[in-house]
Amino acid sequence: MGAKTGLLVYADGDVPGLLRRVGAADLDRTVTMMRRLYPRREIEQCGGSNLGDGVYPPEGTVCAASWPDVEVIGDQEVMIDAPSQLPEHLVAASTGRRLVLHAMHSAVDWLAFAVWEDGRLVRSLSLSPDSGIIENIGEPLSFELPYWAGDRPADVIPRPDEDEEPYPLPFHPLELGEDALRALCGFVLEGRPEPDDIDTDSIRLHGFRVWDPHGPDPAEREAALQRAMEAMGPPRFFSLGPDGSLIERDGL
């Protein structure tokens, strides 16, 4: 699995049903939403994306779309360990609406999702094999029940260099993450699509560069990172010798 998400959705009802009916998102309306959700930030339009790719845009970029009854924001900044700590102004923007947060990162098998109704948190879960259960608030939602009941155990085969220890969670977070994404938002990123899944390629999101005017300039930060990478030189590879010392190798 290689799926990553940093997704917020505001909706006046059932998110999947509303997303199935959307057309092209109005740019002016989306910019107005962006200025409401990102106060004191500089916002500049850039290239957009589709829903499938826009749920995990590059750092410093937000992919977003606003329609009259549903709004979508893809932003790495919402990938927080404890969803209950989502910034207050983002939760306040959901008054009278449903708010869904979905975040996962395949490199560390981490999943977090949460649902607010009219500004009230009703469910939050965050977990990973390294950290265990980080947050678990509210009653499990229906799509979670098979996982907690032991009906969807993690099927993880350790690598040869790893100890033969069982997976530290009763199920795989990314598998639950895909089911959560389908149940809460109507689509999946990996796995077999179902007939009524939303066609994410058909939903376009506008793109925006977002930065703090009082923080480092994103272009300067990117240039500094590039200079640091160039100064590092080529990678070096080592293996463990019989006596436990490191022996440099020519390559992989």
| Span 130-189, pLDDT tens digits | 999 999 999 999 999 999 999 999 876 555 555 567 889 999 999 999 999 999 999 999
Domain that holds residue 26: 4-249
Mention every residue, 6+ apart, whose C-beta is less than 8 A from residue 1.
Answer: 106, 174, 175, 190
Is-contact 21 15, C-beta < 8 A?
Answer: no
Q: Distance between CA atoms of 6 and 14, rounded to whole angstroms?
A: 20
Q: Please report the sign of the dihedral spanned by the C-alpha atoms of residue 94, residue 98, residue 104, residue 109.
A: positive
The rounded Cα 99 to chain-centroid distance in angstroms is 15
pTM of the model: 0.84
Mention every residue, 6+ apart, whose C-beta is less than 8 A from residue 49.
Answer: 57, 63, 74, 204, 205, 207
For residue 54, how many C-alpha atoms fall within 13 Å in the half-sphere facing its CB?
24
The pLDDT assigned to 230 comes to: 73
Q: Distance between CA atoms of 188 and 183, rounded to whole angstroms?
A: 9
- For the chain, residues with pLDDT lower than 50 are 1
Q: Distance between CA atoms of 3 and 35, rounded to whole angstroms?
A: 28
Smallest Cα–Cα separation from 61: which of 74, 79, 80? 74
Q: Distance between CA atoms of 16 and 70, rounded to whole angstroms?
A: 10
Taking residue 206's Cβ as centre, other Cβ atoms within 10 Å add up to 23
Count up the domains in the chain and report the number. Answer: 1
